[in-house]
A = this chain, B = another copy of it.
Amino acid sequence: MGLDEVAQKPHDRLSAWLAADMEAVNQMIRDRMASEHAPRIPQVTAHLVEAGGKRLRPLLTLAAARLCGYDGPYHIHLAATVEFIHTATLLHDDVVDESAQRRGRPTANLLWDNKSSVLVGDYLFARSFQLMTETGSMRVMNILANASATIAEGEVLQLTAAQDLATTEAIYLQVVRGKTAALFSAATEVGGVIAGSDEAQVQALYTYGDALGIAFQIVDDLLDYGGTTAVIGKNTGDDFRERKLTLPVIKAVAQADADERAFWQRTIAKGDQRDGDLEQALAIMARHGAMEAARADALGWAAKAKVALAVLPDHPIRAMLADLADYVVARIN
């Protein structure tokens, strides 16, 4: 292996290894996005689907299927299914969060309107549903139905947990499964199922995707506070302003003294935020080592993901998946 290959990110190495499959997935996405009757649909979705997203979820499905020796056509359908579900949730999130930017482009919400975001999201869900039925596998349908329920439940739970200082780490974990890990684990699990792998391997793929997704989301939440350096960057503090109870805040709240508790009460529970509050929040979290503790949790989940891979075939893809778990948490060095 040359230096170039070593230096490449594991995600890029997976993309390169699975390039032909990925091209088939992209083609299927383009085909199934089209609507004979409603040309607005590809207009709304194109800038999301074509925006050069990392395509991490479909890559996971392709990787799982190929790692398990699959040689049929349906991993392509399932990878496209997973990307459609992801894109649909992004569209619905845009309505929900009134977020102004996604992947660096104007959101569908601003480019179009709430109506289009909701309905085109529904259209993509329906398309994903059609794609998965084409596999003819009831087990795949079951996995994706359960993942859909976990995703929706987690999103609703996130609404009710926001601004609530009583939010526990257990609730945070359910929210994170809904936001990220449920689709990661479904993506890897269906890859193993379509390949006809044995139960231990299918379970391992589920565990890998679940743990990878949780690590990924904890890191995302840490990066929203500038990682562990507690330096405020230009994209820092969105979660604080939106009064989200993410892991570092939950850990800091759990150890808060009376003054700190009053601070969280005012800024998160009541939403009365002033200049300097974000810096103050970072200082409180640093005082309790909340960022380091959250990072340790992320490392633990990444380790769990790698351990799960042991029962899977010894294969270059397996090594890349292990590296991917390391890479996901390395973002917060």
Residues of A within 8 A of B (CB): 35, 37-41, 92, 95-96, 114-116, 118-120, 122-123, 125-127, 129-130, 132-133, 136, 138, 141-142, 144-146, 148-149, 151-157, 159-160, 171, 174
Q: Are A118 and B95 in contact (CB under 8 A)?
A: yes
Given contacts A126-B145, A145-B130, A155-B122, contact A160 B92 (CB under 8 A): no
Inter-chain CA distance A99–B26, complex, in Å, is: 38
30 intermolecular pairs with C-beta atoms under 8 Å apart: A35-B156, A37-B153, A37-B154, A37-B157, A38-B157, A41-B153, A95-B95, A95-B115, A95-B118, A96-B115, A96-B118, A114-B114, A116-B156, A118-B118, A119-B159, A120-B152, A122-B152, A122-B155, A123-B152, A123-B153, A123-B156, A125-B148, A125-B152, A126-B153, A129-B129, A129-B144, A129-B149, A133-B138, A133-B142, A136-B138
A172 to B119, CA, bound (A): 18
A40 / chain B contacts, CB cutoff of 8 Å: 156, 159-160
Q: Chain B's nearest CB lies how many Å from the CB of A159?
A: 6
A145/B125 contact (C-beta < 8 A), A41-B153, A41-B156, A96-B115 known? no
Complex Cα distance, B126 from A148, in Å, reads 5
Contacts of A141 in B (CB 8 A): 129, 133, 138, 141
Determine the chain B residues whose CB is within 8 A of the CB of A145 once the complex forms: 126, 129-130, 132-133
Bound-state CA distance A114–B154 (Å) is: 17
**Residue pair A130, B146 in contact (C-beta under 8 Å):** yes
Which among B95, B130, B149, B174 is the interface contact of A126 at CB below 8 angstroms? B149
Contact of A174 among B37, B125, B130, B157 (CB under 8 A): B37
Would you call A153 and B35 a contact (CB within 8 A)?
yes
Instruction: Give the complex CA separation of A116 and B156 in angstroms.
Output: 7
**A38 vs B177: C-alpha distance when bound (angstroms):** 14
Complex Cα–Cα for A10 and B122 (A)? 33
Give the CA-CA distance A126 to B149 in the complex, in Å.
Answer: 5
A126 and B152 form a contact (CB under 8 A) = yes
Given A95-B114, A130-B149, A133-B141, A119 and B37 touching (CB < 8 A)? no
Please report the C-alpha to C-alpha distance between residue A123 and residue B149 in the assembled complex, in whole angstroms. Answer: 6
Residues of B within 8 A of A130 (CB): 145-146, 148-149
Could you tell me if A156 and B38 are in contact, using CB atoms closer than 8 angstroms?
yes
Chain B: minimal CB distance from A167 (Å): 12
* Cβ–Cβ contact B126 & A156, under 8 A: no
CB distance from A214 to the nearest CB of B (A): 16
On whether the beta carbons of B92 and A118 are closer than 8 Å, the reply is: yes
Closest to A120 in B: B156
Whole-angstrom distance from the CB of A121 to the nearest CB of chain B? 8
